[in-house]
Structure 1
């Protein structure tokens, strides 16, 4: 082994070294940040107690203030479910709830982020162009896909592409094998953007290739969500990767002040190689996603590979996020035209930004539900619905569409599991068919409809994904991959238990009570 190779191996070992467990949390930047946040909360509580104890007329003022806050809520553009939650909080703890409501409405701490995101979107809006001939396809027009494309392009740049091959992966293991193979082919650049990266076999195998490619002169960039400083990665991980020649950033790292910035996490999963190949889906870069490590039984996940013109959209999505912290953002070098590939069907990659006025993720799902004629089949790990989405699911079922949802049989979060079950009675009564995956946990996020439409991406049916996270997905119209998604749904269905009125009646009391209580604050979870 030559000297350069030995040095790289030593650096790889150094990158993997990090404190584990409680010590890692305490002796980290997160430990300091958490301490400062706790001090801020204690200070707010002490101020409230001081006013509450020292003013006899405090109760009367508080009552008037609460009524005024109710009027404010009724006249806001917040969705109905959110208003009910805030009304409950205002009735129970008026002053703290009012401060918290003001804090969230003013979006304290993220205005710079919002400005930068909009600036990067505006700068790059004209870099990708819609082929008008694609939207003139009679089938695209009759299905309403052209209208959906026009809607999406009001919030960003999301062309509908022909000339793109797609491949569906029904398990995380399948994606992992293809991912390693494609990484080895990289010649110009590798862009990774993932919500979760955790040390282990999966990330170790990928990191070894990334280091080799960086040493060969390939532009390797890694972007991960800053909350990983709490859970899986040390705060100085970007600097560690830089020693391997890999450019690395954490999106929205933990800061020592209270901010709504913490709501807006980067939940996307994007890998782009040379502008030729892109991956997305539910699979993060950690061993449980490929069932190398067992958590919550068998981990059922899905992903998709794109090869062809539509890859440009994922390249742009990555660059928009990467360039948020760049003083001189660069676009064109990586946005070379992707080689067209002869393939059936159409592909429309898209992303959802929580900082604008467009509910892109929810709107795409509702468009599929409202236009479906025969069936809509869904997999989602979480089911925390607002009134609009619950109504769309029930309306589709009530007009005769076969609406089926596959949910986890073994939960990763008991609170989310209880909240999902709080919707079971109303959905099943409307004709929606619910199933739980008995081998374990479903992390897949897919929609399939009428043998012509499918969505594979990162967007869950919960408030976090639909309103608070940066998300992405690939919308498919026609082509063989739509059938692959539906066939995987049917195979998975064979391993599920049906939710019925009988099973709902015999549900554990803890889930019933927990779901009912947490539903009061579901939009805040």
Structure 2
């Protein structure tokens, strides 16, 4: 009788969760099949794993709050959101207009009259950012996925404390998982005591409270800094030293940062305001009145901000659009490469039609899962003509995408399923030859410090190596 009862309970459990998986209309076929395999071969473990990691949602309440916040911001910001006019006021070439339309998430459109400076290295970028905070007169807003208590983390905290003490309105957000140690540190408390407004993005308790409807590893992966509604920083660098001591054996982390001025700054400030409102429930007062002015001779730029409360598939669609637009060359750098079928097909299709598609990834990755899954795609990419380079000198953490040395996308987004489906990300799409050429030159430096991977290299891998890579890639859609 006991055995029969357990068998019935087992069957009901598998049936309930299989039905739940089948009811998810936006789940890819690969992910659905992967979950069925987990439920079939390890049902009890599979149920627990599914409850923790199965569904890409923060719950109905959070989605509703997100929609209400952006409705409010769009009404308050008006023209500051940018233009979604399909003609883009004649300021963007017809062939690139599709990219800017694809980047329109939550109502952010194209802004004109922007300027950017590419910083030469991480140390210079962080020094300039702290200088900007020290020169702030009205406001500072910053958000980091990872904020460590190393030299960089402490120096930024100290700069915010100095700013708050001289009357600058400062707001800071740190992700509840990526910065879990820092938000419990004395530096976080010292900032609070000095008058810096603080909140934690996606605190672990909040996500666990919605465990039946959410993955516990949905994170805010953004890196946003806005000073006086006039300057913003965008790129891959967290609030941490390049040595990244928590994973020192993979260092140094090699990052890239742009310092921008112009109306795109206001878009970044509005995005920060949305994150602040979503996580704290309080308004950021400076966003009500301050709008960055256009710069004469500046270029078109647009914020691309994706996340689990946005349109499903926005990021892979954006990457596929950029690959489709390319006529001559695409250069991509990403630390984590686990594409979905949309991106994989777009890369192969671009290479087949004669576009030189170049991808640069780290030779040693801090995630063994990503490393294995990434290499499972090498043979297919190489056979279609994609060129792959593995960076030797540390963990290449820069997330860059240049098209024909004319169009650039730069920010926090990796080319992997986490960035596609799970993380809140922020990037800037810009159309400018000079800035794109500077980013391309940086990409060329990465390539010069990399080993070229050939089809012969991949075919020389052992059967065990190849089987392992493909096993990991098989469960990749549910990781």
Alignment TM-score, normalising by the size of structure 1: 0.82
More displaced stretch, 258-267 vs 496-505: 258-267
Specify the alignment match of 2:362 in structure 1. Answer: 408
Contact 1:128 1:157 in 2 (8 A): no
2:75 maps to 1:121 = no
Gap change, CA 1:511 and 1:345, over 3 Å in 2 = farther
> Does residue 521 of the first structure (1) align with residue 470 of the second (2)?
no
Q: State which drifts further: 333-342 or 454-463.
A: 333-342
Q: Is the 8 A contact 2:412 2:426 kept in 1?
A: yes
2:40 aligned with 1:88:
no
Deviation at 1:150, TM superposition (A): 3.8
The residue that corresponds to 2:94 in the other structure is: 142
1:500 to 428, 445, 454: 454
Tell me the residue number matched to 1:351.
305
State how far apart, in whole Å, the 1-side matches of 2:113 and 2:2 are.
Answer: 66
Residue 144 of structure 1: how far off its partner (Å) = 3.8
Q: Which residue of the partner structure matches residue 225 of structure 2? A: 271
Instruction: Report the CA distance between 1:479 and its aligned residue.
Output: 3.8
**Structure 2 residue runs without a partner (length 5+):** none
**CA distances 1:449-480 after superposition (whole Å, capped 9, x unpaired):** 11210111000011111110000001011241
Bigger RCO (CA 8 Å, 6+ sep) = 2
The aligned residue for residue 288 of structure 1 is 242
- The equivalent of 2:176 in structure 1 is 226
Query: Aligned residue pairs: how many?
Result: 472
**Mapped contact 1:195–1:267 kept (Cα < 8 A):** yes
| 1:380 matches 2:330 | no
Instruction: For residue 404 of structure 1, report the CA deviation from its aligned partner.
Output: 0.4
Tell me the SS of whatever aligns to 1:350: strand
The match for 2:378 is 424
SS of equivalent to 1:248: strand
Q: Distance in 1 between matches of 2:312 and 2:164?
A: 38
Equivalent of residue 400 in structure 2, options 443, 446, 463? 446
- Partner Cα distance (1:229, 1:140) in 2: 39
Q: 2:216 is paired with a residue of what secondary structure?
A: helix
Can you list the C-alpha shifts for 1:111-154, whole angstroms capped at 9, x where unaligned?
A: 32222111111111231423588944546251142x4434444x
Alpha-carbon spacing, 1:88–1:261, altered in 2? closer, same or farther (3 Å)? closer
- The answer on whether the counterparts of 2:38 and 2:46 sit within 8 Å (CA) in structure 1 is yes
Match of 1:204 among 134, 147, 154: 154
1:214 is aligned, of 132, 145, 164, to 164
Look up the match of 1:308.
262
Secondary structure of 1:377 counterpart = strand
Structure 1 position 161 matched with structure 2 position 115: no
1:336 match: secondary structure: coil
Rg: which structure is higher?
1
CA separation of 1:248/1:57 partners in 2, compared to 1, >3 Å: closer, same or farther?
closer
**Alpha-carbon distance in structure 2 between the residues aligned to 1:61 and 1:293:** 43
Distance 1:57 1:324 in 2: 43
1:498 deviates by 0.5
Give the TM-score, by structure 2 length.
0.89
Q: Tell me, which stretches of 5 or more residues in structure 1 are unaligned?
A: 1-49
CA distance in 1, matches of 2:10, 2:281: 51
1 CA distance for matches of 2:204 and 2:20? Answer: 35
